[in-house]
């Protein structure tokens, strides 16, 4: 049954990529990425491998059926499949992830600066949502859209908007998500704001969050993990 949902995801992602892809359209059949360590030139993407050296393995990855390790403070694990895992994704404007959630596990508020995301639940129950960008009217607030998803349900997170997923059940949950970029990027809000190196000025954060310095010092002192 999970395979059927996964196939639906791939079809949906293909449609999403054709419609909303933010990466440039390729001008050749493929441009298999060269390892960064072997590339001497920086481009918007990755350097192309010699087509005569390309093999089927450049378009292949195994092991996405294996659960991710959720034994961390968040109780979740994201397993990416982007151009860094499959070199053949270079210039194709598409990637995906597997997300595992322990009971009450959280994929915390974050954004993908270069991709729209479409997520399908294959096991468990997830509470998901995203927040709109700042409204034009200063008297209005950012709007929150949420939904409780069950097995087989699909939800879309628009490109660049802050979103999250939370396992509300007492059992493990699993979801797959397609993204409209070969390398969508991720900015975890708490990590970026309170865990940057060097840290953001306490004066900036106290004014931004309207709290005292002790709260900011406490938050900056936490161990922020990248999921």
pTM of the model: 0.84
Can you say whether the dihedral through the CA atoms of 26, 11, 60, 115 is positive or negative? positive
Q: Are residues 203 and 218 in the same domain?
A: yes
181 shares its domain with 191: no
pLDDT bracket for residue 11 (50, 70, 90) = very low
Say whether 186 sits in a helix, a strand or coil: coil
Shared-domain flag, residues 181 and 204: no
Q: Are residues 24 and 90 in the same domain?
A: yes
Using CA atoms, how far apart are residues 216 and 205, in angstroms rounded to an integer?
7
Domain assignment of residue 219, given as a range:
187-227
Please give the average per-residue pLDDT across 43-67, as a whole number.
90
What's the structural domain count of the chain?
A: 2
On whether both 181 and 192 belong to a single domain, the answer is no
Identify whether the C-beta of residue 75 lies closer than 8 Å to the C-beta of residue 133: no
Q: Per-residue pLDDT tens for 176-212?
A: 999 999 989 999 999 999 999 999 999 999 999 999 9
Distance (Å) of CA 132 to CA 138, 144, 156:
14, 7, 13
Query: Does residue 39 have a pLDDT over 70?
Result: no
Q: Is residue 139 over pLDDT 90?
A: no
């Amino acid at each position: 049954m999970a395979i059927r949902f996964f196939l639906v995801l791939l079809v949906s992602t293909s449609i999403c990529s054709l419609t909303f892809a933010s990466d440039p359209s390729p001008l050749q059949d493929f441009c298999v990425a060269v390892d960064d360590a072997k590339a001497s030139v920086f481009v918007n993407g990755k350097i192309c491998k010699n087509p005569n050296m390309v093999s089927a393995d450049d378009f292949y990855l195994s092991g996405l059926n294996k659960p991710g390790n959720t034994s961390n403070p968040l109780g979740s694990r994201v397993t990416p499949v982007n151009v860094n895992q499959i070199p053949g994704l270079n210039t194709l404007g598409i990637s995906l992830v597997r997300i595992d959630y322990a009971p009450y596990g959280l994929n915390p508020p974050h954004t993908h600066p270069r991709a729209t995301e479409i997520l399908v639940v294959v096991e468990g129950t997830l509470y998901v949502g995203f927040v709109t960008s700042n409204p034009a009217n200063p008297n209005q607030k950012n709007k929150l859209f949420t939904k409780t998803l069950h097995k087989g349900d699909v939800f879309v997170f628009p490109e660049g908007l802050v979103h999250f997923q939370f396992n509300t059940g007492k059992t493990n949950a699993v979801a797959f998500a397609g993204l409209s970029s070969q390398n969508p990027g991720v900015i975890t809000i708490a990590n970026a704001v309170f865990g940057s190196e060097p840290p953001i000025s306490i004066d900036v954060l106290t004014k931004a969050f309207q709290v005292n310095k002790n709260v900011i010092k406490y938050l900056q002192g936490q161990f922020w993990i990248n999921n």
